[in-house]
Amino acid sequence: MPMGDAAEEMTRAQLRRGLRVATLLVALVTVCGQGLSNILRHLDAYPSPLAQLAAFAVLAAVLAGEAVLLLRRRSWGRLRRAAVAVVLAASVLSYVTLPEGRTSTNTDWLFGAAAWVGLVVLLDRPLRVAVAFLLAHDLTALAHLLMVDPNRGDLARFATGSVTVIGLPLCVAVVATVLNSLSAASAASQREIERVRVAEAVAAESHRRRQQRLAELSATTIPLLEGLADGSLRPEDPAIQRRCAIEAGRMRRLFAETDTVANPLVHELRHCADVADRKGVVVELDARGHWPTPPVAVRRDLTEPVLSVLATAASRARIAVVGGADLVSVSVVADSGEVDLPDPVTPGVHVETLNNDDTIWMEVRWQPSPQPAS
C-alpha cells in the first residue's frame, strides 16, 4: 500500500477509535453518573430496588467489557448479539419494576442510559441495526407508559424525551456509519488499484517477452527470407524447406504462447504440428496425465526438438505427451531419418534420440524443481 493511502487509512482508523472512546465516555457518564444518581435518589420509590440495581449492574458490565475490548483493540464479534440481548433484558427488567406513570422521568434512569450502552455495542454495525435497537428500547418504554392510561402530558413528556434518547445516539451512529463507509470504499478502491497495477505489470512483461522472442526469431528468419528474396537460397532445396518449416513452426508457437488455455504445452504442440499437417504429414497427438504448467522457456525447449523432427517428416508423425507432478515427457516418432536436434537451454530438460533406418524416435523430458515444504 502506498504511503499516502496507508496514512489516510491510519487516520480513519484513529477517527473510528476516537469516536468509539468518546461514545464509551458518554455512556459511562450517563449510566454511572446520572443513572446511578437517579437510582439512589429514588430508591425508596421502586417496588423492587434490587431489580433496578441489577439492571444497572448489567449495563455497567457491558461498558466494562467495551473498555477491555478497546484496550485490546478488538470488537465485540460473536459476543455482540449476546450483549445487545443483555441490554434489552436489563431494559425490560427495569420497566417491569418501575413505578407506574414514571416513564421518561428522573425515576426512569434507564430511559436514556440503555440507548447509549446499546450504541456502544453496535457502533461498528450498519446504521439500520442501531436504529432497530433504539426503536426496540423506545417501544419498551412506551409499552410501560401505555399500561397506565397516560394523559396528554405524559405522552408529550415521552415524545420530548424520545427525541433526545433516540436523536443524539442516532447522530453518533450516522457519523460512525459514514466513517465505516469511507473505510470500506477506500479498501475497495485500493484493491482495484492494485489489481490494475498487477494487470498492467503482467501486460508490460508479456509485451517485453514477445519483443524479445521476435528479436530472437528475426536472427534466424530474416536471413532466410532475404536469401529467398535475392535468390541465394533455392526454395526447392530440401534443407531450405526444412528451415522454412522450422521457422514457421516457431512463429506459430510464439503466437500460441499468448493464448490463455488450460494446457499451454499441448496447445503449443498442436500449433507446431499444424505446420507439418499443412504439407501433407499425418500427425497424431496424444496427451495423458496432469502436470504443472512449465514456464515459457521450458515449453520452448520441450517443443523445439519436436519442431525439428516434424520439419523433416515425410508422411507421418506421432506425438505423445505424458506427465505427472514430477516429470513431463514429450516424445515423437516420425519417418524423418537422422535429424540434428538443438540442445536444451534450460536446466532440467534432457533429450534422447534413437534412429532406425528412416524412422526416428525422440523424447525430451523435464523434471520440475521440487517445491519447498510450507
CATH number at residue 331: 3.30.565.10
What is the rounded distance in angstroms from the CA atom of residue 20 to the CA atom of residue 371? Answer: 47
For residues 254 and 213, the answer to whether their CB atoms sit within 8 Å is: yes
Q: Are residues 33 and 168 in the same domain?
A: yes
Asked, for residue 146, whether it belongs to a domain, the answer is: yes
The pLDDT of residue 190 is above 50:
yes
Number of H helices, E strands in the chain: 10, 5
Q: Are residues 175 and 255 in the same domain?
A: no
pLDDT value of residue 363 = 93
Q: Are residues 177 and 317 in the same domain?
A: no
The pLDDT of residue 80 is above 60:
yes
Average pLDDT in the chain: 84
Name the domain count of the chain.
Answer: 2
Q: Are residues 352 and 290 in the same domain?
A: yes
What is the rounded distance in angstroms from the CA atom of residue 215 to the CA atom of residue 213? Answer: 5
The pLDDT of residue 250 is above 90:
no
Q: Are residues 260 and 353 in the same domain?
A: yes
Say which residues have a Cβ less than 8 Å from residue 260's Cβ, sequence separation at least 6: none
Please, is 152 exposed, middle or buried when counting C-beta atoms within 10 Å of its C-beta (0-12, 13-18, 19+)?
exposed
Q: pLDDT-based confidence at 197, cuts 50/70/90?
A: confident
What is the rounded distance in angstroms from the CA atom of residue 362 to the CA atom of residue 346? Answer: 18
Asked, for residue 62, whether it belongs to a domain, the answer is: yes
What are the pLDDT digits (tens) for 315-364?
999 999 999 888 999 999 998 877 878 788 888 899 999 888 788 999 99
Q: Are residues 34 and 148 in the same domain?
A: yes
Q: Are residues 67 and 180 in the same domain?
A: yes
User: What is the mean predicted confidence (pLDDT) over 260-274?
Assistant: 88
Asked, for residue 11, whether it belongs to a domain, the answer is: yes
> CB count, 10 Å around CB of 303?
24
Asked, for residue 37, whether it belongs to a domain, the answer is: yes
What is the rounded distance in angstroms from the CA atom of residue 31 to the CA atom of residue 186? Answer: 36
- Which three three-digit cell numbers place residue 32? 454511572
CA nearest neighbour of 20 among 80, 67, 59, 78: 67
Domain-terminating residue out of 171, 193, 215: 193
Domain-terminating residue out of 144, 168, 193: 193
Q: Domain range for residue 44?
A: 3-193
Exposure string (b/e) for 97-107, b if CB count within 10 Å is 16 or more?
bbeeebbbbeb
Asked, for residue 305, whether it belongs to a domain, the answer is: yes
What is the rounded distance in angstroms from the CA atom of residue 327 to the CA atom of residue 369? Answer: 10
Say which residues have a Cβ less than 8 Å from residue 257's Cβ, sequence separation at least 6: 210, 213, 264, 268, 296, 299
Q: Are residues 183 and 239 in the same domain?
A: no
Asked, for residue 268, whether it belongs to a domain, the answer is: yes
Asked, for residue 198, whether it belongs to a domain, the answer is: no
Q: Are residues 182 and 320 in the same domain?
A: no
For residues 230 and 251, the answer to whether their CB atoms sit within 8 Å is: no
What are the pLDDT digits (tens) for 91-126?
999 888 888 777 878 888 888 889 899 999 988 888
pLDDT value of residue 340 = 79
Domain-terminating residue out of 173, 193, 213: 193
CA dihedral 233, 235, 237, 243 (to 10 degrees): 80
CA nearest neighbour of 360 among 329, 342, 333: 333
The pLDDT of residue 13 is above 80:
no
Asked, for residue 207, whether it belongs to a domain, the answer is: no
pLDDT value of residue 374 = 40
What are the pLDDT digits (tens) for 277-306?
888 889 999 999 999 889 888 998 999 888
What is the rounded distance in angstroms from the CA atom of residue 304 to the CA atom of residue 374? Answer: 35
Q: pLDDT-based confidence at 148, cuts 50/70/90?
A: confident
